[in-house]
A and B are shown apart, each in its own frame.
Chain A
Amino acid sequence: AQTVTQSQPEMSVQEAETVTLSCTYDTSENNYYLFWYKQPPSRQMILVIRQEAYKQQNATENRFSVNFQKAAKSFSLKISDSQLGDTAMYFCAFMNPHTSGSRLTFGEGTQLTVNP
């Protein structure tokens, strides 16, 4: 079974600074998808960014980018120019539609606080 590990339960960053959230995963598969979801205090789950494992280029969405290291099974999220609205719980998630359907397997989450 696939597992996803987020080793940082909490992190904080100053507004306008850069922060990196870590995620590692375990799978024997070669083709899969990785995601970062954001859960603000409203509890809504919001997709931040996704990465297809067959793509070598790291995904980028505005201030959010990932560092995908397939051999190391590492998938970190970098948030640049942090804003107060980035304060949320961030979940790393894994999906392999070819072997385990479209289910998402989530990590434990990292609570990020952006300080003014």
Chain B
Amino acid sequence: DSGVTQTPKHLITATGQRVTLRCSPRSGDLSVYWYQQSLDQGLQFLIQYYNGEERAKGNILERFSAQQFPDLHSELNLSSLELGDSALYFCASSDATDGRSSYNEQFFGPGTRLTVL
């Protein structure tokens, strides 16, 4: 158990819908990362938050957005869903001191399996 929790574990929805994925980082971790794992794109970085602020952005679609709340949990919002958005979405957390220029191990949650029908 990494200490990172993600809910829900599975999500099945239809095209055009909107969903919210939730992540609770390890106690004390200020950085949260979101990754998408799909068959055609592999594992790719979406976005990082550090202590409530966006720190880095990867290949995240405009239909996707994220935020980190004062209690440090994070949510990834996916809207206007398409079949190609079906994937495993991982959240990871670390205790990076500034979220930018230091290495700290990232601990991954169990993932949320999203299926778009």
Q: Separation in Å of the B56 CB from the closest CB of chain A?
A: 4
B106–A102 contact, CB under 8 A? yes
Q: How far is the CA of A108 from the CA of B40 in the complex (A)?
A: 10
Please encode chain A, from 84 to 110, with 1 for each CB lying within 8 Å of some chain B CB and 0 for all others. 000000010001011011111111110
| 18 more A-B residue pairs beyond the given contacts A47-B106, A91-B43, A101-B99, with a C-beta to C-beta distance below 8 A | A42-B110, A43-B110, A43-B111, A44-B108, A44-B110, A46-B108, A52-B103, A97-B101, A97-B103, A101-B56, A102-B31, A102-B102, A102-B103, A102-B104, A104-B33, A104-B106, A105-B45, A109-B42
Q: How far is the CA of A7 from the CA of B94 in the complex (A)?
A: 30
**Set of chain B residues within 8 Å of A102, measured between Cβ atoms:** 31, 33, 48, 55-56, 94, 96, 99-100, 102-104, 106
Q: CB within 8 Å of A: which residues of B?
A: 2, 31, 33, 35, 42-45, 48, 55-56, 58, 88, 90, 92, 94, 96, 99-106, 108, 110-111
B48–A103 contact, CB under 8 A? yes
Chain A contact residue count (CB 8 A cutoff): 23
Q: How far is the CA of A101 from the CA of B102 in the complex (A)?
A: 8
Q: Separation in Å of the B84 CB from the closest CB of chain A?
A: 18
**Set of chain A residues within 8 Å of B111, measured between Cβ atoms:** 43-44
Q: Does A11 contact B (CB under 8 A)?
A: no
- Nearest first, the 7 A-B pairs at minimum CB distance are A101-B56, A45-B108, A106-B43, A103-B45, A97-B101, A97-B103, A108-B42
**Set of chain B residues within 8 Å of A33, measured between Cβ atoms:** 103
- The contact of A104 among B45, B88, B96, B101, by CB within 8 Å, is B45
Q: How far is the CA of A44 from the CA of B37 in the complex (A)?
A: 12
Q: How far is the CA of A4 from the CA of B94 in the complex (A)?
A: 22
B94–A106 contact, CB under 8 A? no
B58–A45 contact, CB under 8 A? no
